[in-house]
Structure 1
Amino acid sequence: MKKCLFIGLLGLITLSGLAQNRIVLLRDTTRLNLSLPKLEQKYPPAFARVVGQTGVFAQHGRMFMDTLNTRNQLFFTFIERNKKRLPFPGIMLQTQEYIRPDGTYDWVICEFSGRDMTPEQESQFLQLVSEWYEQHPYPFRTKTGFRWAGMTILGSVPQKRIARQGPGIISTLEAAEKTNRPDTVTFLAFANLGLKTIPDVVYRFSRLKEIDLSKNELHELPARLTADIPTLRKLSLLYNAIPDDSVFFTRNKHLQALNLQGNRLTRIPSSVRLNRRLESLWLGNNGLKELNIKSLRSLRQLNDLNLYNAGLTQLPKTIGRLKHVKVLDLYHNKLTQLPRELGRMKRLEQLAISHNDLKDLPQSLAKLKHLQILYAHHNRLSRLPDEFHRLHNLHILDLGYNWITVVPNVLGKLPSLEELTLNNNNLQEFPAVLLSIRGLKKVYMSSNPLFGREAMTSPYASQLKQLEANNIQVTY
C-alpha cells in the first residue's frame, strides 16, 4: 500500500477538524485512532437488516434510490472530465461513507488497488476524490445519519492486443499483404492496429464475410467497402472517431450487421438505409441529438437496434414504425417517458429500458404480444399498468433498483413469467402476489427493508418457505 496521506475536501484535513468532511485511507485508521466499529454503531446501514429497524432507505426510499442513480452518473462524468488527473487507468476504488444527518460526510474511508503509486500520485488521486465529495453531499436530511459502501473502477485499462487466429482469419497487415491465397480469407480482424484510414490491402479479399476495425483511429467509412466487397456480411467500427457526414455506403443487399458504437455521431447516418438487408444496427455510445427513424424505415430486415448510452432524452413517436425490430436496447439514456407508439412495434421480443429516469410505463406496452424479456431496472417506477396482464409471453421481468413499495397485483396475471427481479426497491410488505404466479422459477428480493439475513426469523418466514416449497429459487 501507499505512503500515508490525509487530505481534506476543502484542503488538507487535520486531526483538529479544520474541515467538515474528511477522507482517509483504510490503513491509516489505526494510527489515527479512528474506530470503525464505533462509526458503524453511530451510523446505521442505509438498508437496515434487522426487522423493525428503520434505515434511511425505508425513510427516503424514492429519494435515496434517485440520489444513488444520479450520483453514479455524475461521478462517472466527473471522472471522465478529470481523467487526465488519474495516475493511471484501472484504479479500483472502495469507499465506506459515513454521512451526517445533514448530508455532509463525517468520514470517508477509502481503499484502492492497482499499480503502485508514488506519494505524489497518491496525493493527486486523493485530492481528486476529495473534490468529488466536497461537491456532492447527499441532498436530504436524516435523523441519525447513515453509512454506505461503494466500489468502482476508474478508467479503462488498455488491453494488450491478441491476434485472432483460425481458419480464414487474418489479424495483421503484414499477413494480409503476404498471403498468396486471398480467396480463402473470410475474416479480417484488424482491431487495435492504430489505423487512421482503411488500408487498400482490405480489397484484396474477394470472399470476405466479416471485417473488424474496432478501436482504431478512423475518421471516415468509405463507400468502397460495400461497393468492392460484395460478400461482406458483418462490419464493426466500434470505438473509432467517425463524425457525421463521414459514413458512406453504396446500395447493397449483402451487409447484415453494422456496429458504429463509440464514434462521434450526433444522428443516424442517412446512408445506412442503403444497406437494404441490414438485420443488426448498433449505434450506442454516441451523442445522438435526435433519432431520425426515417433513415431506418426502409430496412425491413432490421430486427436488432442498439441505442445503449446514445444520449437520448426522448424517443420520437415514429419509433412505432420500426415494426420488424425484435430487440431494442435503450440502456443508459436520459428518457423520462416512453411514447405510446412504442406499443406498435408488434414483433418486439426484448425491450431494455434500464438506467433511465422513467416514472411510469405506457399502457400501450401491453400490446407487445411477443414481448418475452423486459429489463426496466434502475428507473423511478413505483407501479405498472393494469393492462400488463395481456403480456402473455413475458418470461423475464427485471424491476430492480426502482421505487416500488407494494408489488403490483398485475404480476399474478402473467401466465408465462418465470424470472422476476425486485431487489433494491422499498418493499414495505411481503408480496403475497408471488404465491399466485404459477410458472415462477426465480425471484430476487434482496436489499429491501423487509429482507436480509434475518428473513427466515421474521414474520414473513412462512411465506418465504412456501415460495421455496413451490420449487422457486428465492434470493433475499
Structure 2
Amino acid sequence: RLAEVEGVGSFGELTTAHTLNLERSQVFGLPDTIWKLSRLERLDLSDNLIKELPRGLGRLRGLQELVLSGNRLEQLPSSLGNLVSLTALRLDRNRLLELPESIGGLGSLTWLELQRNRLGVLPDGLAGAPVLEVLRLDDNELVALPDNVGDFAKLRFLRVDGNKLTALPRSFSRLASLEALQAQNNRLAYLPKYFGRLSALHTLDLENNALKGLPATFVELAKLRSLRLNGNRLVEGLPAGFDGLAALEDFEL
C-alpha cells in the first residue's frame, strides 16, 4: 500500500491508464502533475488522508468519475469546475465547510454526493449543473438552500435530511422531475405554497420537523405513494381533499 503519492513526477506508465484506484491506501497528498494522467476516466481516492487537492486536477478533462469519500478535505480548488466530462462526484464524509462557485460549471454531472460534511451554505452556482439527477446533502449544517434551487431541471432524487433547514425556497416548486425528497430531521415550519406542482414526486419524508400544516396544493401530488409526517405538530390539520391522494400507499402521521 502507498503511504503517499507525493513527488511522483511522471507517473511512468500510468499516463495511459483509464482507471486508477487508490482506495484505502493511506494517501495524504497528490502532486500537481496529476494532470499528466490525461486518459484517466475514473479516479478513486476514497478513505485516505487527503486534506487538499492540487489545482492540476482540473486539467483532467476526460475524467468521468471522481471518488473522494472519506478524506479530510475542508475546501476544494476552483479548478474542479473545469472537469467538463465528470458525471459522478463523491465527496461524502469529509470536512468541507464550503464549495467553490465553479462547481456549477460541471455541465455533465448527474450524481453528486456531499453528505456528512460541515456545509453551512451552498453557492448559487451549484444550480448551474444542468443535468444533475441525484444530490445528497444529508447530515450537514445547512440552514437554507439556494434561492435558485428550482433550476435543477433534471433533479430526481434529493436528500437534505439531518440539517437545520427552516424553509424551502419558493423556486423549489419548479423541480418538475423530482421523484423522491428526504427532508426529515430538520426544522421546517412550512412548505412552499405551490408544492403541489412537484408532479413527479412519489416519495416524501418530512418526519421530525416543525410543520404546522400543509399547503392546499399538496393534494395535487397525484403520484405520491409514500409519505411520512410523523414527528410534526400539524396543528392546522391536513388540507381539504387529502383523502383524494389515490396513489398513496404508505402513510405515517
Q: TM-score, normalization: structure 1?
A: 0.47
CA contact (8 A) 1:293 1:318 kept: yes
CA contact (8 A) 1:220 1:247 kept: no
1:306 and 2:74 aligned: no
Partner residue of 2:232 out of 430, 448, 472: 448
User: Counterpart of 1:50?
Assistant: none
Q: Could you tell me how far apart the structure 1 residues matched to 2:101 and 2:79 are?
A: 12
1:318 and 2:102 aligned: yes
Partner residue of 2:12 out of 211, 218, 224: 224
Partner residue of 2:131 out of 334, 344, 347: 347
* Structure 1 segment 182-193 matched on structure 2, within 5 A: none
Q: Could you tell me how far apart the structure 2 residues matched to 1:407 and 1:379 are?
A: 16
User: Counterpart of 1:287?
Assistant: 72
1:266 and 2:42 aligned: no
Q: Could you tell me how far apart the structure 1 residues matched to 2:231 and 2:248 are?
A: 22
1:389 and 2:173 aligned: yes
**Inter-CA distance 296–366: structure 2 relative to 1 (3 Å threshold):** closer
1:257 and 2:42 aligned: yes
Shift of 1:379: 0.9
SS of 2:36's equivalent in the other structure is coil
CA contact (8 A) 1:398 1:420 kept: yes
Shift of 1:336: 1.3
SS of 2:66's equivalent in the other structure is strand
SS of 2:194's equivalent in the other structure is helix
Q: Which amino acid aligns with 1:293?
A: S
User: Counterpart of 1:143?
Assistant: none
CA contact (8 A) 1:252 1:274 kept: no
CA contact (8 A) 1:342 1:364 kept: no
Runs of 4+ deviating beyond 6 Å: none
Q: Residue by residue, what CA displacement relative to the aligned partner does 1:409-429 show, whole Å, maximum 9, x if unpaired?
A: 332111111111101212334
Partner residue of 1:238 out of 12, 19, 23: 23
1:474 and 2:240 aligned: no
SS of 2:20's equivalent in the other structure is strand
User: Counterpart of 1:421?
Assistant: 205
Bigger Rg, which one: 1
Q: Which moved more, 1:345-354 or 1:421-430?
A: 421-430
Q: Could you tell me how far apart the structure 2 residues matched to 1:402 and 1:433 are?
A: 22
RMSD: 2.7
Q: Could you tell me how far apart the structure 1 residues matched to 2:109 and 2:33 are?
A: 23
Shift of 1:264: 2.0
**Inter-CA distance 225–271: structure 2 relative to 1 (3 Å threshold):** farther
Unaligned runs of 5+ in 2: none
1:366 and 2:154 aligned: no
* Structure 1 segment 147-166 matched on structure 2, within 5 A: none
Unaligned runs of 5+ in 1: 1-194, 198-217, 452-458
**Inter-CA distance 220–419: structure 2 relative to 1 (3 Å threshold):** same
Q: Which amino acid aligns with 1:338?
A: L
Shift of 1:349: 1.4
Partner residue of 2:117 out of 326, 333, 341: 333
Q: Residue by residue, what CA displacement relative to the aligned partner does 1:396-454 show, whole Å, maximum 9, x if unpaired?
A: 11111111233333321111111111012123346654322112121122333469xxx
Q: Residue by residue, what CA displacement relative to the aligned partner does 1:120-178 show, whole Å, maximum 9, x if unpaired?
A: xxxxxxxxxxxxxxxxxxxxxxxxxxxxxxxxxxxxxxxxxxxxxxxxxxxxxxxxxxx
Question: How many residues get paired?
Answer: 248
Q: Could you tell me how far apart the structure 2 residues matched to 1:365 and 1:293 are?
A: 21
SS of 1:435's equivalent in the other structure is helix
**Inter-CA distance 472–431: structure 2 relative to 1 (3 Å threshold):** farther
**Inter-CA distance 313–471: structure 2 relative to 1 (3 Å threshold):** closer
Shift of 1:269: 3.1
Q: Which amino acid aligns with 2:89?
A: L
Q: Could you tell me how far apart the structure 2 residues matched to 1:340 and 1:295 are?
A: 16
Q: Which amino acid aligns with 1:261?
A: S
**Inter-CA distance 350–470: structure 2 relative to 1 (3 Å threshold):** closer
1:277 and 2:59 aligned: no
Residue identity (%): 26
Q: Could you tell me how far apart the structure 1 residues matched to 2:45 and 2:13 are?
A: 15
CA contact (8 A) 2:189 2:212 kept: yes
Q: Which amino acid aligns with 1:238?
A: E
User: Counterpart of 1:412?
Assistant: 196
Q: TM-score, normalization: structure 2?
A: 0.85
